[in-house]
Amino acid sequence: MNYRKAKKEDMSAVHHLVQVLADYEKEGDAVNVDPKYYERCFEEKVFQVIVAEDQERIVGMVLYYMNFSTWKGKMMYLEDFVVLPEYRNQGVGSKLWEMWLKDSKAQGAKMVKWQVLDWNAEAIKFYERQGATIEKQWWNGKIIF
Amino acid sequence: MNYRKAKKEDMSAVHHLVQVLADYEKEGDAVNVDPKYYERCFEEKVFQVIVAEDQERIVGMVLYYMNFSTWKGKMMYLEDFVVLPEYRNQGVGSKLWEMWLKDSKAQGAKMVKWQVLDWNAEAIKFYERQGATIEKQWWNGKIIF
């Protein structure tokens, strides 16, 4: 398995990974943006990606970007953390996680942040093993244009 | 009241606003970064700010930055929304909110997002009046370095 920062040319594989997982979750129609859009945003540095590659096939990734806490300073936000089902439980997720933490520190983040669904006990267990704090008192607000 | 995008020179006033509110909430020691740090991050475009100014005094602000949803695309995240207590209930918050939505659209955001504490009924009512969806099923994970 090869781990590296993604390039613009990887965006259609990254998008494919997102689509495969959305289909798997029976949410295939929820992906409203296409690979070209990913490429444009990637070039604008809206987000960064580390990929896991098995013989040139991208089978996992972490997608993240820098946020800012007015109290704590720079914090890296993990938006998406995907490993294809057939590649799970082989250490791919742990390695991606570790590389993401390392890259976040290198970019000056003072903390890292992400979200997890309340029913996702397996993921929560993983995060707690990593020494994470899980906060339950924040609700998300959103408006879709 | 004058509303405008902040400049680097406003960062110490922005930091002061954050500190005043933290003191008000008896969390004065929780602000771990200083105005110089704000200036550096502002210059790196880690965040943007719109300020409300009363006779050259900054009395309110929205602080935000672009995030990315793999399903929906660019989304603007509202990190901090502050109006000094003595300037509340005069439409300052609504105007800042409106300018933030407008600027988010202008920058290509397909949605806007923020968080609110579950006990903050007043804020939640404000957001619901704005047509927001409030999601309760996401928990926050974080690791402080």
Q: Is the pLDDT of residue B137 over 90?
A: yes
ipTM exceeding cut-off 0.85 for this assembly: yes
Active site residue B127: yes
Facing A68 at nearest CB: one of B15, B70, B79: B79
Nearest CA in chain A to B30: A71
Q: Is the pLDDT of residue B25 over 90?
A: no
Per residue in A43-99, pLDDT (tens digit) is 999 999 999 999 999 999 999 999 999 999 999 999 999 999 899 999 999 999 999
Please give the structure tokens belonging to residue B72. 């929906």
Confidence grade of residue B90 (pLDDT, cut at 50, 70, 90): very high
Q: What is the mean pLDDT of residues B57-69?
A: 97
Closest CA to B65 of A79, A68, A114: A68
Residue located via tokens 């005069």: B90
Q: Is the pLDDT of residue A25 over 90?
A: no
Distance CA A62, CA A100 (A): 7
- A115 interaction partners in chain B (CB closer than 8 Å): 138-141
Per residue in A129-142, pLDDT (tens digit) is 999 999 999 999 99
- B46 interaction partners in chain A (CB closer than 8 Å): 66, 68, 74
Residue located via tokens 């991208």: A58
- Predicted confidence at residue A21, as pLDDT, reads 85
Neighbours of A20 (CB within 10 A): 14
Q: What is the mean pLDDT of residues B21-47?
A: 94
Distance CA A18, CA A143 (A): 22
- Judged by CB atoms closer than 8 Å, whether chains meet at B68 and A67 is answered as no
Burial class (CB in 10 A: 0-12, 13-18, 19+), B43: exposed
Closest CA to A77 of B2, B104, B138, B1: B138
- Predicted confidence at residue A52, as pLDDT, reads 98
pTM of the predicted protein model: 0.95
Nearest CA in chain B to A71: B31
The Cα of B140 is separated from the nearest Cα of chain A by a number of Å equal to 5
Strand, coil or helix: B48: strand
Q: Is the pLDDT of residue B103 over 90?
A: yes
- Predicted confidence at residue B116, as pLDDT, reads 94
The answer to whether residues B126 and B116 touch, using CB atoms and an 8 Å cutoff, is no
Q: How far is CA B116 from the centre of its chain?
A: 12
Q: Which domains does chain B have, with CATH numbers?
A: 2-129 (3.40.630.30)
Confidence grade of residue B110 (pLDDT, cut at 50, 70, 90): very high
- Predicted confidence at residue A24, as pLDDT, reads 84
Confidence grade of residue B21 (pLDDT, cut at 50, 70, 90): confident
- Judged by CB atoms closer than 8 Å, whether chains meet at A68 and B65 is answered as yes
Query: Is the alpha carbon torsion for B56, B62, B65, B71 positive or negative?
Result: negative
Residues in chain B: 145
Beta bridge partners of A2: A53
Residues near B13 by Cβ (< 8 Å), separated by ≥ 6? B51, B57, B58
Confidence grade of residue B78 (pLDDT, cut at 50, 70, 90): very high
